[in-house]
Chains A and B, each alone.
Chain A
């Protein structure tokens, strides 16, 4: 009786089968929850899972609760997008659960209300190290995916700016440098995510790659992407071409087959305007402007083209090494303004900032209960009240530190 009340409150459309599975797999847990349903209004901390799997319907009453990412969606949407520790967690727990948090809800509400006839809006997720910016971005991307948008997701812009094994001088322009491995890898993942759009979008101009290879006007985008995946040498230019095509056609056809909404998500966007750690052949440092991939990405960031959503995640790259935890250092202004980033801020100037912070008590409680449910907190002391207080003290409710602590406890 109580269970019915609970599930009808959370999601009126939950299927019988799902409820049955839930009851089967976590009988004891549900009994404990069932006892407390009467007091859920007074004690909202006891329920940590929601049966609402569709991010479109997530709202404030779902904050702090975990929803499951369907396995098929994870494979398609996030071939490269999730943080490595979260991928390990998915593998261990046999499911991918994401917590619904206020910054992600804010972002999704902006996306729902945005006026798509006007130039694109840029959102920047900023915050302390390990507070969950990438996860919020993933949540928002899942919403876009369920809505059927085309997704351009760069999982970590820092990977394109440092530690590149191969740096070739560009085949098309003399002063630029190519990164074939990164570009072809990204194209492969782009193909996996956006399969169904690739045959519908057509190129608007002819592209000449070498004397013998060219892509004609009017070819489907899939061919362009295949060109980049097969021929590593020109893959960076292919990336540029793909981005250009998407830019031109995003808002073009309002109805009919060609219409699509475009979401651009860049994780670690301050890499685009910082310093690289790559060196040219004469041992001088490379500027980010000289890398083809970065140059094309920067063009995507400018908001003078067709309406679309651009969402960026800022993270603290240079400051990670320094042990300064002064709060003001994590504001996007400082991130962009410090030393070389002046031009970055000017480029991104009208943006909507979304702040991501550590867990509050309710979210922490929810995370703790989730780990208990998944049999992850094994140490007997961590299951007691004092152990919980110790965890709060040691991690300061920071999501990533808590995750690392609970890993070996």
Chain B
């Protein structure tokens, strides 16, 4: 009885210390897991030399457990997997991603082997380049923000940061596949179809991007409402 009361009165510290979620001091650097060959001192410019010095001295944030030092690690693919993940089920999300890449490669390689020699050069079989290019084709250049002026709110065309553009492209891809496709198809099938369509600048996601651009063009008159 006394032991259990004493246990309650003890100050509680978590047994697992979550480092990544705590606020890092701004001078902490991001970890760089790549195993690039070190460029010799003479070829570096003075700024790069300073950067190297900084890396040896300053502290570095803890690395994520999903980052690997192998060259197969792709930050864009990791970001997409994180966005697809639901309820923290990373294994499932990663499985879907690998199946998507495999399906894209299968479709393209099948096309490659069946086409005559002349057309083989144009077929892109690498699923990673297909993914990167498709994402580029889905990224909007200009976005809309809601600004309130004089009691009414207007949709004002606004430039987007790189992160925001990448986020919007990925979000549109995932929601398009989740909502607008046939219920009984697998996610990796839907994703591969959508990615291949976006690679060729067709499909619903690219259409949505174009619609956003048209809206921004139509609301050009309100552009001066932006003060930032």
Q: Which residues of A contact B (CB under 8 A)?
A: 88, 91-94, 374-376, 378-379, 381-382, 386-387, 390, 407-409
Contacts and interface: CB of A to CB of B under 8 A. Distances in A.
B114 A390 contact: no
A386 B69 CA distance: 12
Contacts of B113: 92-94, 374-375
B101 A408 contact: yes
A390 B35 CA distance: 14
A375 B71 CA distance: 20
B172 interface: no
- Summarize B's interface: helix, strand, loop or mixed: helix
B114 A409 contact: no
Interface stretch (B122-130, B162-170, B193-201): B122-130
Nearest to A387: B71
A379 B102 contact: no
Contacts of A88: 106
Contacts of B41: none
B72 A92 contact: no
B127 A374 contact: no
A379 B110 contact: no
Interface centre among B72, B98, B125 (most CB of A within 10 A): B72
B126 A381 contact: no
Contacts of A378: 105, 125-128
24 contacts: A91-B110, A92-B113, A93-B109, A94-B110, A94-B113, A374-B109, A374-B113, A375-B113, A378-B125, A378-B126, A379-B128, A381-B70, A381-B71, A381-B72, A382-B72, A387-B71, A390-B70, A407-B98, A407-B105, A408-B99, A408-B101, A408-B102, A408-B105, A409-B72
B154 interface: no
B80 interface: no
A374 B120 CA distance: 13
Contacts of B71: 381, 386-387
Interface centre among A91, A93, A375, A387 (most CB of B within 10 A): A375
Contacts of B106: 88, 92
A381 B126 CA distance: 12
A302 B70 CA distance: 53
- Summarize A's interface: helix, strand, loop or mixed: helix
Given A407-B102, A408-B101, A92 B127 contact: no
A262 B126 CA distance: 46
A183 B101 CA distance: 37
A93 B125 CA distance: 13
Given A375-B125, A381-B70, 17 more contacts: A92-B109, A92-B110, A93-B113, A94-B110, A374-B109, A374-B113, A375-B112, A375-B113, A376-B109, A378-B126, A379-B126, A386-B71, A387-B72, A390-B72, A408-B101, A408-B102, A409-B72
Interface residues of B, number: 18
Contacts, number: 46
Nearest to B68: A390
Interface string B4-30: 000000000000000000000000000
B98 A408 contact: yes
Interface centre among A88, A378, A381 (most CB of B within 10 A): A378
Contacts of B128: 378-379
A85 to B, nearest CB: 11
A36 to B, nearest CB: 24
A409 B71 CA distance: 11
A84 to B, nearest CB: 13
A408 B101 CA distance: 5
Across the A-B interface, give the 3 residue pairs with the lowest CB-CB distance, nearest first.
A381-B71, A378-B126, A408-B101
B72 A379 contact: yes
A377 to B, nearest CB: 10
A390 B71 CA distance: 10
A408 B127 contact: yes
Contacts of B114: 94
Interface centre among A88, A381, A407, A408 (most CB of B within 10 A): A408
Nearest to B35: A386
A387 to B, nearest CB: 7
Interface in B28-86: 70-72
Contacts of B110: 91-92, 94
A88 to B, nearest CB: 7
A381 B112 CA distance: 21
Contacts of B101: 408
B108 to A, nearest CB: 9
Contacts of A381: 70-72
Contacts of B99: 408
Contact of B109 (A375, A387, A390): A375
B13 to A, nearest CB: 34
Contacts of A379: 72, 126, 128
A138 B65 CA distance: 42
Nearest to B72: A381
B124 to A, nearest CB: 9
A396 to B, nearest CB: 16
Contacts of B125: 375, 378
A387 B125 CA distance: 19
A94 B110 CA distance: 7
Nearest to B73: A381
Contacts of A387: 71-72
Contacts of A374: 109, 113
A376 B112 CA distance: 11
Contacts of A409: 72
B27 to A, nearest CB: 33
A376 B113 CA distance: 11
Contacts of A390: 70, 72
A390 B70 CA distance: 8
A93 B72 CA distance: 24
A381 B68 CA distance: 14
